[in-house]
Amino acid sequence: MKKRVFIIGLGLIGGSLALAVKSTFPQASIRGYDVDDKAVKLANSLQIIDEAAVSLEEGVKDADFIILSAPVESSLSILDQLQSLDLKEGAIVTDVGSTKVSIVEKGSELESKNVTFIGGHPMAGSHKTGVEASRERLFENAFYILTPSNGTPDAKLIQLQNLLKGTKAKFMQLEAEEHDKFAGLISHLPHIIASSLVHQVEKAGEKDPLIQQLAAGGFRDITRIASASPTMWRDILMHNRSVLIDMLKEWKNRMEHVESLLENRDSEGIYAFFSDAKDARDRLPSKKKGAMLPFYDLFVDIPDHPGVISDVTALLAKQNISITNIRIIEAREGIMGVLRLSFRSESDLVHAKGLLEEHMYETYEAP
């Protein structure tokens, strides 16, 4: 039987989910809706969706699956609207939000309409945005968290996973509270810290502009997550407020500990602080997609010679290896420079590394 899928929100995530579903179920009918008419028209012209819906009411008609691919605050509003619409009995509704407690609570209200809501969070993304950046393999090997309610039938959970199996993601089931706690620690808190560091450097740069120039190097790299959507992160913090308040208190205590080590000139304690952190980080899985997008970076030593950068990019282009970002880290007259090439997947990185080394380039990966 032909399945009808309605995707609300045609950005990077919504578009990529549509492509992933199509890859497994080419006969599925995918209808899309977005408040931005341009996104709908683009998704249609790119054949990411089969049909555009002019309203939620039209879109949900006869839909077997409804995917809310919108920020948490918008998804909550959409769930309220779904309450008054004619949903197909037995339909499954899911979302892609970065926080789950409030969404799951609101979604459970649909049970009165004989509809099943299952919270979802695909932990993958890209530096690119918009439906035009959609790609079928965006979620490959990423964790895809599902947060069903206690009363969710196993059959419905299996149906949703079957629909999404084209993502090639690793499905994991968590309680909504667990998800928000874990995501808060490994994703939400780091974004707060990165943004705070940017604020501190910006403030210092008002007195000494040289700081801004120096920050264009490594500092810019370690804080790049601070460039994410302010609207999205406002919603995330507001909906994970209680979790983050406790985590920020713990973080302040940790910083006060470091401050104490410095005040007491405790060199052994400072060494232990960094040594323990290094050991813990080295034990983390490498190049796995988690709550934050991994960076597949390859560093290439290049001689001070005209045309060398175009030579590197041409070699990769001939093999259809896509570079998502390229940056000259160091290039001074008379010495070797360093290129940092960023790729969209580990397989692209490995392919590029082998190809460049065949052409006598010295390459290395970040530890």
Question: What span, in angstroms and rounded, lies between the C-alpha atoms of 155 and 262?
Answer: 57
Angle, in degrees to the nearest 10, between helices 267-282 and 241-263: 140
Contact, 352 vs 341, CB < 8 A? yes
| 61 pLDDT more than 50 | yes
Q: How many CB atoms lie within 10 A of CB 128?
A: 13
Cross-sheet strand order for the sheet of 51-52 = 51-52, 29-33, 4-8, 65-68, 92-95, 116-122, 143-148, 170-173
Contact, 222 vs 193, CB < 8 A? no
Mean pLDDT (the chain, rounded): 89
Pick the CATH number of 4-174 from 3.80.10.10, 3.40.50.720, 3.40.50.2300, 1.20.1250.20: 3.40.50.720
Question: What span, in angstroms and rounded, lies between the C-alpha atoms of 353 and 350?
Answer: 5
Region of residue 228 (phi > 0: left; psi between -120 and 50: alpha; otherwise: beta): beta
Question: What span, in angstroms and rounded, lies between the C-alpha atoms of 99 and 117?
Answer: 15
* Same fold: 179-282 with 296-365: no
What per-residue confidence (pLDDT) applies to 103?
96
Question: What span, in angstroms and rounded, lies between the C-alpha atoms of 97 and 119?
Answer: 8
CATH architecture of 179-282: Orthogonal Bundle (1.10)
| Residue 182 C-alpha from the chain's centroid | 15
Model pTM score: 0.74
Average pLDDT of the residues in 218-241: 87
Average pLDDT of the residues in 120-144: 83
What per-residue confidence (pLDDT) applies to 206?
87
Interval 284-314: pLDDT, tens: 876 555 555 556 788 888 886 778 888 899 9
**DSSP one-letter code for 186:** I
The tokens 């997947």 sit on which residue?
345
Burial class (CB in 10 A: 0-12, 13-18, 19+), 163: buried
Asked if CATH classification 3.40.190.10 holds for the domain at 296-365, the reply, yes or no, is no
Q: Max alpha carbon distance in the chain (Å)? A: 73
What per-residue confidence (pLDDT) applies to 295?
62
What per-residue confidence (pLDDT) applies to 68?
98
Sequence spans of domains, the chain: 4-174, 179-282, 296-365
Burial class (CB in 10 A: 0-12, 13-18, 19+), 16: buried
Question: What span, in angstroms and rounded, lies between the C-alpha atoms of 138 and 147?
Answer: 21
